[in-house]
Every structure is written in C-alpha cells, then in structure tokens.
Amino acid sequence: MTFRLRRNSVFRYPMDPVPRTAVLAACFRQPRFRPNYPVRIFPDGWSEEVSAFAPAAIAARREQLWGIAATGQPPMLTHAVIALESRGDPLLSTEERVWLWRAFRVPVFEQVIEPDGELLAAECEVHDGLHIEIPGLSWNGYHVEMSPCGCGRKTPRLALGLPAERARSAAAYAR
C-alpha cells in the first residue's frame, strides 16, 4: 500500500500573463523552482508586508476582502480581486460583486478551492460562470450551465450572478 502525502497546490491566476499577485491564504504553496513567478503567498493575511509588495491583484477569502476594503484605504490594484470560496459556500451574489468592484475598482474573479488549495472551479475572463475543473464532483445546490462559454471552452460552468436571497437558499440546499 502506498501512502501519498498531499501537498498544497500552487495558486492558478485566472489568465495569462500573470501580474504581481498577493495570495492571502495558507492553503497554497510557493512554487520553489519558479523564481520569476510573480505570485506570492502570504499565509497570515493582509499586513504591511503585503502592502510593501504592492500587488496588482489580490486573492483571498471573501471575508478577508471585506476586511481589507473596510480599512478605508484598500490597495491600489490594477488587475483583479479573486475571491476564494469553499465548495458548498454560496457564490458571490450580484450585490457582493458590485460592492467588491466599488471597493477595488478592478475586475472580480471567483474560484472554488479545496482545503489544500486544489482548484475545483474558476471564473474566466468572460465572467460568465466558473468553469468546473475537476469532473465528477457533485455540485448540488449550484446551477450548472452547459452552454459553451465565450472563452471557447465547452466545460460545464457554475452559473454566477444570483441575487443574495437566492444565493443563500441555494447554499442551504447544498448542505
């Protein structure tokens, strides 16, 4: 019998080229052999150090993004905010997306990840749902969209843009 210790995954930015990105989550690992990869993991969340890193994009749990925005002096991002969710969480509601846009003034992306950082579903640059990256998982409680995406990929997607009330009831159903 072999036992394979699972390692944390490397964060995947939604598109290329990857800008300078601060990932505020301990579940990812820093790729060791890619010294020029502009993604840095900050396992302890937002800090002076992250601010000094001057990220063009931030990836974090939605509560952390709210917290950073609530400081009244959110960082001057130029590329993206990426909300990290767990499977079973409601996706960002339309209202939450508008709020993030107002706070950070950059496009909002969403990713569903496992506790070890493995990417399960990711929003692409078309912003028309989250592409399911791992086939065969159950997505009860989410609306799965089967039509081809504007980005050219034909994989099923979790539909976006539920108003807050429906997002909450979908999440309750998923439990």
Q: Which residues bind Zn ion (CB under 5 A)?
A: 124, 126, 149, 151, 153
Q: How far is the CB of 134 from Zn ion (least distance, A)?
A: 16
Query: What phi and psi values does residue 74 have, to the nearest 5 degrees?
Result: -65, 155
Tell me the closest approach of the beta carbon of residue 140 to Zn ion, in angstroms: 22
Q: How many angstroms separate the Cα of 139 from the Cα of each of 16, 87, 121, 158?
A: 28, 8, 10, 8
Q: Which is nearer to Zn ion, 6 or 153 (CB)?
A: 153
Identity of the residue, 39 or 124, whose beta carbon is nearer to Zn ion in the bound complex = 124
> Measured from the CB of residue 40, what is the shortest distance to Zn ion in angstroms?
26
Asked whether the beta carbons of 143 and 160 are under 8 A apart, the reply is: no
Shortest spacing between CB 172 and Zn ion, in angstroms: 28
Judged by beta carbon, residue 60 or residue 149, the one nearer Zn ion is 149
CA–CA separation, 122 and 136 (whole Å): 16
Which of 22, 122 has the CB closer to Zn ion?
Answer: 122
Reference 111, options 39, 11, 41; nearest CA is 11
Residue 98 tokens, joined: 């508008």
